[in-house]
Structure 1
């Protein structure tokens, strides 16, 4: 027994250690002075990892543990789950006294959702045993212990049942069910009448909620099977949480699952649902169950005689939770999240039944709304979004380039322009400007300072140079050609170009020769302008360099 306890302890430490180390590392990276108490409490709740060990590890990294935050998280949990009442009950006090006469509660919830003739063998209000609950006591929570009950107490990752205990003129609302030392504790409020020691009640579980929990729990077994089939037999469950039509499943895996892997898991589980395989359970010696290949789940303590839950001929696990009778009753299985929770540990969050259906409907609704806004068919939304993203990226590049050309200033360029034969000549480089931005700047210069000849250059990230040349209308009328001008400069860099007489674009593959190309452009336009006929003369043929 001692060896078993030791093995269980080290199993908990090994599972929780990566999480604890990540928590401490993240805290240090944020510059925090202490590990957050709330997250330390989460480690305790989920894996049983002791906060004292977290503090020891944190001290080694120069940090402390936020014990106040830990206690606040603990209090919030107790208020939400009724654990505050349980804490007092579990101490040597009312529960200890009750255990002297009541050794355990008979659980009848595998076969039924309701039990008639259940006898009240214990009543606890605050930290006191009581023999009578009346309507005044209904204002504060209480604990009722029965000799037999269909209520499942929170255990093995499965949440406790809710429901009610009723008798003529009496109703006790059960808001949570817990288990301690063999006793099943019905935690809740007296809503009607009086409830006394040795009274007989009808214990009735919220059947709809329980069936939703069954769906989620049986689905975890199907998911466990699917993970081992598709990721490998080394995949093991490392923790779980089962709630109405919702489940959280932790498993060992070093990398994030690919979309096609998640799809394969969903298909596998839903295929087993459609298979309508019977789900059965039986009691047997633990050794026999192990020989049959039944999976033993992480963190569970198993007695000598265990309960084996089987789904068809493909899943067999040791489990004490409540389950469906057929896989078809799961209805639908949908994975909604896959994430890392610690080094080497991944977590899948999934929905079952109507919760899964509603999730899919919400996704379809969102897709339909997106298609309506984008004015396309739902199946074409991804392509449309990608096209819009490309357009946005292009606009951002243009805006960035435009901001650079704005900083140049038309007035400044005109003021710095050279003048040849009465024509303003602007030949310059604009780093990072796009061809569109340079064309727009040339348009502004032609409106501002005609007659004008402009050649602008910009280096691109790919190691190319773009040239844009523009001439005012009066210059083209007199025979000058922007295409010839741009080509003359581009040729120096091993490139060429084209366009119209008034606006041309060219490029070069040797950006290291840009300065030489710009000087060639200055020389060429100067020579052409000096040989150009007077403005009053008839237009001549285009001049060649």
Structure 2
């Protein structure tokens, strides 16, 4: 039994099962594809569920994978123990109605004892209590002594999940030796972690109705799972996953940044484990297209990143550091997952920005927490306050607990948990509602052969009507005026996908159907959705399918320009730019991309000019179908979270742009004509959006702008458009001069009122109080007025209110004698503004506050006496 690195183990396993005629499938993205039941992929078989359920045909009846997985139910335990983690890789070999128990058991034993050379005497076997067949195979074919085979009940050795395929399990366990304690019996050794499970062989042989009734399946399946990190622990002779070579290298990087060592301090060990686990999870999640957010998988990512960042602070790391450790995660895993290196800059940027945002969250949260602590009663911080900190401000509950404990306070955790549960239930309901309304969940059942798409090369073709639907109901025919869904055997109509809108057009024969949109089902049927304009269409009809060519050509121009746009953005802004979504239609190109600040006018101009330069260079646009690895070698860009097959379609514009894409494109960049960006803005944290037009769309935009310019010139009485700028400048200068005169007059008028304000002051227990409204002046003038009143009378409290252009502000000033008696301008301003829903504050002698509801201004001013009384006499 030789030491073996984690990356070598992964390759050994997959190569071994390839030798047993298995097809190696790449790990699916962590974002489930077409499965609304999961938030994140959490097991090796999860992406293959459709094959087990017969919903799709696997590439081979024998498959092997190493699947990336995320599990977060025990997130709070991560770090506190050396066993818990959120990210792991699951090795698996699968049979879909091919081999069964004999081969699964024989090959598992061969791999462990022959390939890895694990001593047979260190291995124990468990089987389901009534699975005589499995036990006999282990005893008679493998030669395992009966005393080393343990029968266990349904809880341990039977796999099922509700109704559907299920069956008994056989697990292989490893004995770590006397260093982990005595061996009294299997159960005792297992509880003491001397015996650890390393491989679970699931024999799916029954179909359960969910009510304890099991029918033997005709086609039986094999589903095995072996944790790669746990296997590495065995092969490297270490206690836990944090000491496995690739994981330990990540931890060493963290230790170097923090200036600490592992296994020297229990508190720092906890933090090191948390950061190490969470940065592995988050690097892979971002790499698979998960973005930080406040719901769903984005919330899981944000929580993991913020928990890791917080533990960095506990280690004394003051600056952002996770994005640096992310580089080590990529280095340790890029051989098996080359997409990590391709997206390295993007991944690091997302993590860095989220960590920077969290630093601000912590500072803001501490300020609010201190306020809640001051207002707490009976030594208890309310559950509502704790939940608000966590839910609204992203302030971790464990940090709230820690700080409250330091202050000698307890938190009403029962109420906090109630609120968390309410939020989770709402999130689940929202998730379910979204899932039920998705197209993937529609009830249309189509039994005919899938549609052949001819639209890459043809704009019309002869076809046969395979099926006619009215909504979700199949029917024999549809007549004039009826809405209809038509399935054809062949079609030139592009179905909406990849951000490209569908084609429209006509299906003609015995009837004429206007096609308004086209969608594609998961199993390859094109659904032509439209209306029968005349005649009757029947199943089996011979028809001609014709797309709107002008509309398609405009869409193609915009789609190709989106590819050029992404390449130009990466040149100008950096390689962290990746597509985050797009919509290409005949009218325009809308492109969402990862970036973390608004583009400057200079950057926008550079990008636009670069795209037009490529367009005017008349570069051929080639489309090819290539093996995915060959496409990657060309540098083809892939869409985050997208699942690709072994063969992919690649769209290449010279050496400038190479992307995976199933859409339609022009065959030469010159056919785009021209490209013009019309807007750039933010659509989400770290995601920007550009909208642009091409070809005739640019001409339409220019004509529209010229018409507006000519109309403006006529209104402003400029002799011609060329003199419009000079005319606008003249008018603005005149306007500013008049505005200045009006402002000066208003300020002069306001200052003339000062003596009247002073005369109106009333005595309140030895302090002169002034309350007045001065509408229509600027904030700095209002402050100056208050300062003059304060300088004139050291015993004054003045509160001036101003409403200007629908917004209001309070200015509060207190003389030095009034301050000595307890007056505080900042507190008065905050209290008065609070009565209107506004807020603000400042120094004891001078403060400003915004008015919330300006309709409540006078009502708030009327409460001034009570506010002053509270300050001076309490």
- Range into which the TM-score falls when normalised by the shorter chain: 0.5 to 0.7
Higher deviation after alignment, 392-401 or 6-15: 6-15
For 2:869, the equivalent position in structure 1 comes to: none
Alignment map for 1:260-339 (pairs within 5 Å): 260-339=602-681
For 1:244, the equivalent position in structure 2 comes to: 586
What SS does the aligned partner of 2:27 have?
A: helix
For 1:6, the equivalent position in structure 2 comes to: 30
For 2:518, the equivalent position in structure 1 comes to: 177
Residues of 2 paired with 1:339 and 1:294: CA distance? 27
Residues of 2 paired with 1:396 and 1:67: CA distance? 56
Give CA-to-partner distance per residue, 1:295-335, whole Å, 9 cap, x none.
11234321110011111221111100011111111112111
| TM-score normalized with structure 1 length | 0.60
Contact 1:334 1:350 in 2 (8 A): yes
What SS does the aligned partner of 1:250 have?
A: strand
For 1:143, the equivalent position in structure 2 comes to: 485
Residues of 2 paired with 1:392 and 1:144: CA distance? 63
Residues of 2 paired with 1:67 and 1:404: CA distance? 58
Give CA-to-partner distance per residue, 1:483-517, whole Å, 9 cap, x none.
xxxxxxxxxxxxxxxxxxxxxxxxxxxxxxxxxxx
Contact 1:19 1:341 in 2 (8 A): no
Cα distance change, pair 272–14 in 1 and its aligned pair in 2 (3 A): closer
- TM-superposed deviation, 1:349: 0.6
1:391 aligns with 2:757: no
- TM-superposed deviation, 1:238: 1.0
What SS does the aligned partner of 1:270 have?
A: helix
Residues of 1 paired with 2:422 and 2:583: CA distance? 32
Cα distance change, pair 188–73 in 1 and its aligned pair in 2 (3 A): farther
Residues of 2 paired with 1:67 and 1:398: CA distance? 61
1:361 aligns with 2:703: yes
> Comparing both chains, which one has the higher relative contact order based on Cα–Cα distances under 8 Å and sequence gaps of 6 or more?
1
Give the counterpart of 1:126 among 458, 464, 471: 471
Structure 1, unpaired ranges of 5+: 26-55, 413-458, 461-545
1:17 aligns with 2:292: yes
- TM-superposed deviation, 1:365: 2.1
Residues of 1 paired with 2:294 and 2:682: CA distance? 10
Residues of 2 paired with 1:214 and 1:19: CA distance? 36
Cα distance change, pair 222–129 in 1 and its aligned pair in 2 (3 A): same
Contact 1:19 1:343 in 2 (8 A): no
Residues of 2 paired with 1:247 and 1:7: CA distance? 26
Alignment map for 1:382-421 (pairs within 5 Å): 382=725, 384-405=727-748
The total of aligned residue pairs comes to: 369
For 1:115, the equivalent position in structure 2 comes to: 461
Residues of 2 paired with 1:67 and 1:366: CA distance? 50
Contact 2:518 2:527 in 1 (8 A): yes
Give the counterpart of 1:106 among 447, 452, 460: 452
For 1:489, the equivalent position in structure 2 comes to: none
1:352 aligns with 2:697: no
Structure 1 or 2, whichever has the larger Rg, is: 1
Give CA-to-partner distance per residue, 1:232-255, whole Å, 9 cap, x none.
222111111111131111111111
Structure 2, unpaired ranges of 5+: 1-24, 33-39, 41-284, 303-356, 358-416, 756-783, 786-874
What SS does the aligned partner of 2:676 have?
A: strand
Alignment map for 1:41-56 (pairs within 5 Å): none
1:227 aligns with 2:569: yes
Residues of 2 paired with 1:126 and 1:64: CA distance? 32
Cα distance change, pair 124–358 in 1 and its aligned pair in 2 (3 A): same
- TM-superposed deviation, 1:343: 1.3
Residues of 1 paired with 2:570 and 2:667: CA distance? 23
What SS does the aligned partner of 2:28 have?
A: helix
Q: CA RMSD in A?
A: 4.0
Give the counterpart of 2:494 among 136, 152, 172: 152
Higher deviation after alignment, 382-391 or 186-195: 382-391
